[in-house]
Copies of this chain bind each other. A is one copy, B any other.
Amino acid sequence: MSNATIYDVAGKAEVSLATVSRVLNNPEKVNEATRAKVLKVIKELGYRPNAIARGLASHKTTTVGIMLSDVTRASTSSLLGGIIDIAKKYSYSIKIFSMSGDRDVLDSIREVVAEQVDGILFLNDELDSKQLNIVKEQASNANIPLVLTNVISDDPELASVAIDYKKASYDTTKELIAQGRKALFLLSTVTRYSVNSQKEAGYEEAMKEAGLESKVFRTSGDLSINTPHFEEYFGSHPVDGAIAVRDSIAVSFMNVMINKGKKVPEDVAVIGYQNTKYAMLARPKLTCIDTPVYDIGAVAMRLLTKLMKGEAVDTIKIVLPHKIIKRESM
C-alpha cells in the first residue's frame, strides 16, 4: 500500500538511515560492501526517496518553475519541448505556472518562490520592463536563478536566451526593399509581446533607412478575426510585401491576398516567423524566418542548470542564430 521509507530500507539493510541517505547522495563515501547491501534492499523494496521530504531537508527540490502565459501557442510548446528534454537529462522536474493576464505579477512570482523551485525559466513575453523588474527582484531576493527564455530585456543583469529578432526583421525588410517593393507591412499582434516589439523595431529601422513609411498592422492571432480584418483593410490599401510575426498570421494574410486575385510572390511577397508546419503546408509554401524555438528552450534550460549549480558561464546573454528559409512566397 503505502511506499517504503528510508527507515524501512535502513532496518532491512541493518544500517542507519544516514548510511542509506549517503548511498543515494554520496555513494563514494560509503564502503562498497555496505553500499551493495543497501542498494540490494532498495531494489527489493522498490524504494524511491520522498521528493518532498528530501526537498525540505536539503533546501533543493531539483525542480524548475516555468512561468508562461499560454501553452497553446506554437512557440510555447516548442520551447517546452526543448526545456523538458534537457531538464530530463539533468534530472530536474518541471512545474508549470501560468500567468493569466489579469493576475498580479508580484503574486505570480511569489507563488513560484513559495513552491521552492531551484530555478525559474520565464517565458512570458507580454510584460513591460517594470513588471520584469518585479520578477527579477523577487527571484534574486529568494536567491533563485532566473533565465528569460525567448523574452527580450536589455537589463544586463537578466540572463536570457533568444535570437536577434531585430536583426532578423531588419535583414528581411532590406531584402524586400531590394526587390523594389515599397508598400511593406509588418503584420503584428494587438497584444504587445516583447519579442514582437523587436521584430517591429528591426522593420522600422530598415524602412526608415530606405526613406519608406513604416506600417505596422496590428491584428489578432485568431484566424476568424484577422481574416475579415485583412479583407477590409487591404481592400483599400496597397501592399506589395508583408512580414508577419507568426507563420499562421502570414498564411492567413496570404490566403486573403490570393482570394483578392493577387499573385504571391509576384504582386505581394509574404514572410512568416518561426518555420512551423503551417509554412510547409501552405500553398504556395511560405518563406519564413526560422526561429529555433526548441533550441532556445533547450539552451535556456542548460544555462539554468549551470546557474543553479553555481558553475561559471561565459555569458548570461545568449543569442542563437536564425536564418531565412526561402520557399515560394518570396
Contacts and interface: CB of A to CB of B under 8 A. Distances in A.
A81 interface: yes
Contacts of A277: 223, 248, 278
B98 A96 contact: no
A18 interface: no
B98 A84 contact: yes
B1 A143 contact: yes
A93 interface: yes
Contact of A81 (B72, B278, B294): B72
Nearest to A72: B81
A61 B50 CA distance: 12
A191 interface: no
Contacts of A81: 70-72
Given A93-B115, A95-B95, A281 B251 contact: yes
Contacts of A110: 46, 48
A329 to B, nearest CB: 13
Contact of A77 (B52, B71, B143): B71
Looking at A2, A97, A114, the one whose CB has the most chain B CB atoms below 10 A away is A114
A169 interface: no
Nearest to A76: B77
Nearest to A221: B277
Contacts of A116: 50-52
A192 interface: no
Contact of A48 (B3, B100, B114): B114
A252 B55 CA distance: 48
A135 to B, nearest CB: 15
A281 B223 contact: yes
8 contacts: A1-B143, A46-B110, A48-B111, A71-B84, A72-B294, A93-B96, A255-B283, A258-B283
